[in-house]
Structure 1
Amino acid sequence: YAQTFDSNIGNVGKPARMALGALVIKEQYGFSDEDTVQEIRMNPYLQFFLGLPAFQHEAPFDASTTTLFRKRIPADLLADLNDYIVGRCNPYAKDENADDDPPDSTPPDPPTGQSDENADTQELNEENYNGIILTI
């Protein structure tokens, strides 16, 4: 797709991942436009977050480009994206209030039809560590 454009005319477009990522970094850390570009230039983790394939020593865009990103991406879209990333709007995020673990106070019932001899053997093969039964 990029090969269809003449490389001598205009500047190369930036990917949406880079634009959104730069705005997320800027808002998350409270950087100015210039500081955002400098942090991205120096930090390989931020470059990876923006989708760059490898670390590069030069900045992937200019500080004035951050202004263009802000003009093209509305603040409400960025807020919705941030909420989705945090998990507040993510329908697939696990509910922190839900308790999927069984209660620890009652041990499971033994299988029905078990003889006393098997019960004694089972008791010998179990060790108790801080309320947790380890079956050997």
Structure 2
Amino acid sequence: MSDGIRVDTDGLNKFSTRVQDDTSRTLEPGYSDARVSLGTGVRFGVNNASGSVHAAKARYAASVEVSTANVEEYLAAARVLADAAAKVAAALDASDSRSAERTDWITGALAAAASEAQERRLAAEQRVAPGTARAI
């Protein structure tokens, strides 16, 4: 079998593995811990009658909510990106194999065509001048 086209997919596979590991071993546990800490709501200023404190508390709660949504979207996007990199690597590896098979088929077809053309040329020469044609 010929070599075909060989794409080095190690980088894609390493990237996919690294993103999956970073997401599951670092980001998700840290996010989970923060979510537990912040899950009870904003605790400061409960007994403070100041409107400014309550406004700050509301802004802080909104910031926590937006940050939480951003982290969740980031984790989802990281998973999608890691999965896509793994799928692209697998598809490239599969196409390398198909490329090599097609290259072998094309090489065989060209060799067969060349052989057939030579046989036809020899046959034509034999018809024109019998006993003079010879294979090259």
**Shorter-chain TM-score range:** under 0.3
Report the structure number with the largest CA radius of gyration. Answer: 2
Question: Structure 2 length normalisation: TM-score?
Answer: 0.26
Question: Structure 1 length normalisation: TM-score?
Answer: 0.26
- Considering Cα pairs closer than 8 Å and 6+ residues apart, tell me whether 1 or 2 has the greater RCO: 2
Q: Please identify which structure carries the higher helix content.
A: 2
